Structure 1
């Protein structure tokens, strides 16, 4: 987040309309709200938490151990080597991906159906569709992600604890009372269950912040914040419109003729 603050400083942006993000991005939203409240009008933390629970740290550690156990990891010094720790990273991704789903979504999508066969093979091969799905996602992940980056990101998530310095979440949000919050969780998310968001909402309310909370019914688990596109579009657009109106923000509007802007600097107020 400190790097993001430096970026908007470099861009000459004094104050953002809103910071929004889901999962790890939601943790960054909370960091913005707690420690840089003067730089934004609003915050939208989605499917996230103010601190990792022991169970979440445990899942992260299993993924890290898979990477450590890959002989190609070489204590992280594998750049330029003929092989990368892709096997370990793939397993780490498979473990992580399970936490993004839900039992209901896996039942709907895969059930106990077999992949490319009609009966059990009684062998150590991929047989179930869910196995094939996880292996595909693990392999595909290695083509676009770095194992060391995975280690550092999961460690950063495990270390994150918004109330570590203040002793309580309400105290952490003490300087955030001028912000407007929209907190969103999902009913089937067992990675960051709804009670994590409710804990944040309670702390924000205790601090005196303006907060709206929505627990969206969905069967997609943690991935719901990426898959419930129509619902998320409606929620975010409605909140942002009300925010613009409430803050009396003037939006730049250009007049076009034949594809060319005639007055790109013109501004109009947005009204309800």
Structure 2
């Protein structure tokens, strides 16, 4: 095993792919996917791993775009030489989902008919559509079979969909902090966020201009979402009932946690698009493989080996939802390993440094396929 290092400076890339017929019958033409790669593809093209991101993520999963960049990619802790997804061994691909706003086809893309951004006229996309676009990208490398697809939260849903959409093209599947479908509560949180955007004076039916975007509504949506990513323990530890820095006269909140959420919301609007937030959360809410026997039947086409990881303090995607996946995989006689990690970090646990998580992922990937 090599020492842990960064993958260093990485180059964002864009692939212009073929037409893609979406679940709703619309055709995306062309299909544009933003992506990054880390490591080297083997001569036999049998060492490729696809990383799928969560709601607000993007293709920049590891390394830096420039020497001056302060923060690395969102999963840099786990991707690189000597890390869980060891780029000395694996060729790692990370792509931005379609419907997003970080370079792949989405509401911010230019409509070839009007010459203007699609905005809310962009066709609805599903998790299945996101995976179909990723399949086009993977095929563009000449890769017929992935060693692994991995992702947390929404990324876990994509990984799960991969296993049933393309069972012959996948050897391993890693699902972290995820679910086979949203509960009413999970849908409710997303609906409040969407309504905050729709209520913004600048919404304009999703046809807003660059200089008049629904910033306040998107910031409120992010504040709501961010609450669900943390645990009560983490919030108490980090904020307690403390006042914000400064004094009450120059703060928008009486409490430090409120000031923190306001900051999170305001910083989010500078890097995300309101329409994309609506599109992606709708894709999340509509994703449903069912429960019980229905879920077992939905997962029956899968042929790969699975690792499912949940987190004790995750109340947004609780361990019970991960266990539903495991139970149905076992019922359909699939090879599945399950680990519940004890953490205090809430839903964000899968993104944060955790030696146990690193060991579990590395051990799973290095385990002989027939075990």
Query: TM-score interval w.r.t. the shorter chain?
Result: 0.7 to 0.9
Counterpart Cα distance in 1 of 2:139 and 2:234: 43
Question: Corresponding residue for 2:157?
Answer: 27
Question: Corresponding residue for 1:213?
Answer: 338
Question: Corresponding residue for 2:142?
Answer: 12
Residues 30-62 of structure 1, C-alpha deviation per residue, up to 9 Å, x if partnerless? 100122111110101100000000001100000
Residues 150-187 of structure 1, C-alpha deviation per residue, up to 9 Å, x if partnerless? 000000000000239x97111111121x3110000000
Question: Corresponding residue for 1:259?
Answer: none
Question: Corresponding residue for 1:222?
Answer: 347
Counterpart Cα distance in 2 of 1:179 and 1:187: 26
Equivalent residue for 1:173, pick from 299, 302, 307 = 299
Which runs of structure 1 show a deviation greater than 4 angstroms over 4 or more consecutive aligned residues? 121-124
Please list, as runs of the form range in 1=range in 2, the aligned pairs for 1:33-72 lying within 5 A after superposition.
33-72=163-202
Question: Corresponding residue for 1:151?
Answer: 278
Kept in 1, the 8 Å contact 2:244–2:251? The answer is no
SS in 2 for 1:225: helix
Kept in 1, the 8 Å contact 2:293–2:328? The answer is no
Question: Corresponding residue for 1:260?
Answer: none
Task: Report the Cα offset of residue 127 of structure 1.
Answer: 2.0
Equivalent residue for 2:218, pick from 79, 89, 101 = 89
Counterpart Cα distance in 1 of 2:212 and 2:355: 42
Residues 215-248 of structure 1, C-alpha deviation per residue, up to 9 Å, x if partnerless? 1000100000011432222111111111xx3369
Question: Corresponding residue for 1:235?
Answer: 360
SS in 2 for 1:143: coil
SS in 2 for 1:15: coil
Counterpart Cα distance in 1 of 2:177 and 2:355: 16
Please list, as runs of the form range in 1=range in 2, the aligned pairs for 1:120-199 lying within 5 A after superposition.
125-163=252-290, 168-176=294-302, 178-199=303-324
Structure 2 unaligned regions, length at least 5: 1-130
Structure 1 unaligned regions, length at least 5: 249-272
Whichever structure has more helix as a proportion of its residues is 1
Kept in 1, the 8 Å contact 2:220–2:265? The answer is yes
Please list, as runs of the form range in 1=range in 2, the aligned pairs for 1:72-111 lying within 5 A after superposition.
72-80=202-210, 82-111=211-240
Counterpart Cα distance in 1 of 2:140 and 2:289: 26
Higher relative contact order, chain-length normalized (CA < 8 Å, sep 6+)? 1
SS in 2 for 1:161: coil
What TM-score results when the alignment is normalised by the length of structure 2?
A: 0.62
Number of aligned residue pairs: 241
Question: Corresponding residue for 2:89?
Answer: none
Kept in 2, the 8 Å contact 1:117–1:127? The answer is no
SS in 2 for 1:246: coil
Output the aligned Cα RMSD: 2.0
Counterpart Cα distance in 2 of 1:128 and 1:198: 37
Moved more, 109-118 or 141-150: 109-118
Bigger radius of gyration, 1 or 2? 1
Moved more, 138-147 or 155-164: 155-164
